[in-house]
Amino acid sequence: MKTLVHFATETGEWAVPIERVQEVRLAVGITPLPAAKPGIAGLLRRGDEVIAVLSLLGAGAGHVLVIDGDGERYGLLAETAIGILRVEEDEIGAPPNGQEDPVVSGVIRAEGGRMILLLDADELCKVVR
C-alpha cells in the first residue's frame, strides 16, 4: 500500500508519496525571482532556509507542498490540498508515454473516470537546479 498526498491544480489532480512531503502550507510570502527559469514561481522563506517554489503544474494560489527530492527541499504550488490517499501498488498504472522528463511516475484511475498523476519528487527537483 502506498500513502500519498493528494492535491489539485488548475491542470488536474496529482499525488506525491507522503514520505517526501515535509509540510503543506498556505501559499503566502512567495517572492518572485527576476529572470527565473520556466516553472519557478519564486522563493519562500521556511524558518532559516529559503526554498524555490515550482509552478510547473499551474499557477495555483492556495497551497505550497514542501517536498524533499533528490537531497534538496523545494516547494510545489497547488490550488487545493485534497488530503491523504491510500492506494495498492497494483492500482498504479505505468508512467505515460510522451513525457520529455519522467516527472510523472504513474497513473491512478480514480472514481468517475478521473486520473490522478503520481509525481516523482526526485525528477521534479531537477527543475530547481
| Mean pLDDT estimate for the chain | 91
Q: Quick check: pTM over 0.85?
A: yes
Question: What is the predicted pLDDT for the residue at 89?
Answer: 92
CB burial class (10 A; 0-12, 13-18, 19+) of residue 18?
A: middle
* pLDDT for the residue 102: 87
Q: pLDDT at position 60, please?
A: 66
**57-105 residue pLDDT tens:** 876 678 999 999 888 899 999 999 999 999 999 999 998 888 777 899 9
> What is the DSSP code (8-state) at residue 31?
B
Question: Domains in the chain, start-ordered, CATH in brackets?
Answer: 2-128 (2.40.50.180)
